[in-house]
Chain A
Amino acid sequence: MPERSSTPAPVSASAPRIEPMPPESALTGFRTLLYKETLRFWKVSFQTVGAPVLNALLFLLIFSHVLDRHVTVYGEVAYTSFLVPGLVMMSVLQNAFANSSSSLIQSKITGNIIFVLLPPLSYREFYAAYVIASTLRGLMVGAGVLAVSAAFVEVPMANPLWVLTFAVMGGIILGSFGVIAGIWADKFDQLAAFQNFLIMPLTMLSGVFYSIHSLPPFWQDVSHFNPFFFMIDGFRYGFFGQSDTSPWLSLGVVSLCFVVLAALTLAMLARGYKLRS
C-alpha cells in the first residue's frame, strides 16, 4: 500500500493563497436560515396561511350555527365566543407543526437538506431557525383566524400577555415537535402518521371545542394528561379571565413540555440523528 510519506503533497509555490470570505457577524448564518424558512412558507402563503384561516372559519361557522343557541360556557360566555380562542390556538399549533415538519421532510427527500448541513451552522442555530419560523407561521395563521373571527363574533381579551405567552409557547413546542417528526420520518406517510395519530387527536381532544367541565369525571382526569389541554386552557384564560384550570399550572406544564422537547430535539440534532450518519 502506498505510504503518504512516499508521495508528499506537492505545493504549488506560484499558486496564490485563497482566503475564504470572512463572516460579517456570528448571527448572519442563523438569521439567513430563519429568513429562508420564513420566505419558504410566505412564497406559498395561500396554502400555508390563507387555507388554514379558511379552515378554521369553516369550523367556526358550522359549530356556531349548530351550538351557539344551546350552549354557554363559564356561566355566561356564548359558545361562539368560547370557540374562537380554541380555534386560534389549534391553528397556531397545527401550522407550527406543519411548517418545520414539512420543510424538513421535503428537504430530506429531495436532498437539498445538504445546503443547510454543509455551511458552518451549529445545531442550536438550526433548531432556533426552524422553530422560530414555525412559530411565526403559527402566529400569523392564528392572528388571521382571530382577526377574521372578531369581525363576526365578540371576543374579549382580558389579558393579552397570557394570550401572547401561550401562543408563542405553543408555537415553539409544536415547532419542536415538527423538527423531531421531520427528522425522524423517512417518508411522507410516516410524517402523516405522526400528524394524524398524535398531533391531531391531542389537539382535537384538548378542549378546543368544549370545556372539560362538560366531560364525565373520568375524561376530565384523562384530559389533564394531555399537554395540549394546558396550552389551550391557558390561552383561553387570556381572553376570558376564566379557565378550566389555573393558568399558572398551565404555564408550568407548558414550560416543562418546552424544556423536555427542546432538550430532546437539540440532543437529536447534536447527534446528527438521521442527518449526519
Chain B
Amino acid sequence: MSLPALRIDGVTKRYGSLQALGGVDLEIGQGEFFGLLGPNGAGKTTLISALSGLVRPDSGTLAIMGHDVVGDYRNARRNLGVVPQELVFDPFFSVRELLRIQSGYFGIRRNDDWIDEILASLDLTHKASANMRALSGGMKRRVLVAQALVHRPPVIVLDEPTAGVDVELRQGLWQFIRKLNRDGHTIVLTTHYLEEAETLCGRIAMLKAGKVVALDTTANLLRRFATHSLRVRLANPARGVELGGTVAEAGEAGEGGWVDFGFDSYADVETLLARLREAQAGLIEMQLGEPDLERVFVEVMHRA
C-alpha cells in the first residue's frame, strides 16, 4: 500500500477564544489533485501553515510523505513546496539569485538546469536577471510558484494562487500545475474560484469553522449535494413562488419575473412545467442549469 502524500490526524489549533482548527482528519494520496475549500476564516491557511511548520498545532499530528512535520521536520519540508497566499518577495535579489538561494536552503547547489526548466515553464526566462522589484504582480506570483518548486517537492500546496491574477496568467498557471500533477506531483489547492476547483480537483474537502464538513470526490459531491435547476421567466411569478420556486435575480436585460426551481432528474421537468401551466403562471422563457460546485458549497455550508 502506497504511503499517503499527506496524513493529518486530529489536528487542533486555538488562538485565544478562536478555534481555528477543531480536530481535522485528512488523508491525501500521492498524485491527487486535492481541493481545500471553505469560507474566509474556515481554517484553510492555518491547516497549510501547520503542514509547513509555520503554525504549531495544539494537538494532533501531520505527516508529509510519511515524515512527521515536527519530529522529522527536515524530511517533511524537503517533500513540501508551498506557494503562499500573499505576494511576498525579497527586494534585494534578482529572480535567478532568489531561486539559487532558495535551492541552497534546501541543501541543493548547482541547480541551474532545473531552475532554467522552471523559468522556461513559467515564461520567466527573459526576467531571470531582473530584480524582483521590477516585476509585475503576475510575474511575482509566478516567481513564488518557481520558489516552491526549486527542490522538486512531491507535494505542492497552493494557497489561493490565482487571487487577483488576470485570466491569461491564471490559465497558463493551471496548465503548468496540471502538468506537474500529470508528472506525479500531489497538488493541494485552496481557492475561492469554485469553478477552478471543480475543473481541476479530483477530490475536495470543505472546511467550516476549523472542521471538515464535506470530503469526497468532486463527482460524488456534485451528485450528492447539487440539484439541477430550472430557471423560468413567468408572466405571473407569484404563482411560481407558490409552487415552491424562489425569486431569481433579474435577467441580463434587466427584465424581471424569473423564478428558480431545483430538481433531481430531468423527468421532474415535465411535471413542473405541467404544474406551472395548471397554475396559469404564464411561461415566457426558460433555462436549464447543470449542478456546479458553487451550489454544493452553498448547500454544504448551509447544512453544516
Residue B138, interface by CB 8 Å: no
- Cβ of B11 within 8 Å of any chain A Cβ, yes or no, is no
Cα distance A117–B50 in the bound complex, in angstroms: 12
Residues 76-111 of B, flagged 1 when their CB comes within 8 A of A and 0 if not, give: 111110101010111111000100011111111101
Interface presence of B139 (CB below 8 A): no
A250–B15 Cα distance when bound, in Å, is 45
With A2-B216, A112-B90, A120-B77 as contacts: A18 and B152 at CB distance below 8 Å: yes
User: Is B107's CB under 8 angstroms from A29's CB?
Assistant: yes
> Which of B92, B111, B216 touches A21 (beta carbons < 8 Å)?
B111
Q: Is the CB of A20 within 8 A of B79?
A: yes
Given contacts A11-B2, A19-B154, A35-B104, A112 and B32 within 8 Å (CB-CB): no
Asked if B29 contacts A18 (CB within 8 A), the reply is: no
Bitwise, B109-151 to A at CB < 8 A (1) or not (0) is 1010010000000000000000000000000000000010001
Q: Which residue of B lies closest to A15 (CB)?
A: B31
List the B side residues contacting A70 at CB < 8 Å: none
Alpha-carbon gap, A21 to B222, bound state (A): 38
- Name the A residues within 8 Å of B89 (CB-CB): 110, 112
Residues B54 and A114 in contact, CB atoms below 8 Å apart: yes
Asked whether any CB of chain B lies closer than 8 Å to the CB of A217, the reply is no
> Which residue in chain A gives the minimum CB-CB distance to B181?
A15
Residue B233 is within 8 A (CB to CB) of chain A in the complex? no
Contact B107 A28 (CB under 8 A): yes
A-side contacts of B103, CB under 8 Å: 32
Query: A117–B212 Cα gap in the complex (Å)?
Result: 27
Which residues from chain B sit less than 8 Å from chain A, CB to CB?
Answer: 2, 4-5, 15, 25-32, 49, 52-56, 73-80, 82, 84, 86, 88-93, 97, 101-109, 111, 114, 147, 151-154, 183-185, 202-203, 211-217
Residues of A within 8 A of B (CB): 1-4, 7-12, 14-26, 28-29, 31-33, 35-36, 39-40, 43-44, 107, 110-112, 114-122, 272, 276-277
Query: A24-B109, A117-B54 provided; 18 other pairs, C-beta below 8 A?
Result: A3-B25, A10-B29, A15-B30, A17-B184, A21-B108, A28-B109, A32-B103, A36-B104, A110-B89, A110-B91, A114-B88, A115-B102, A116-B105, A119-B105, A120-B76, A120-B105, A122-B74, A277-B49
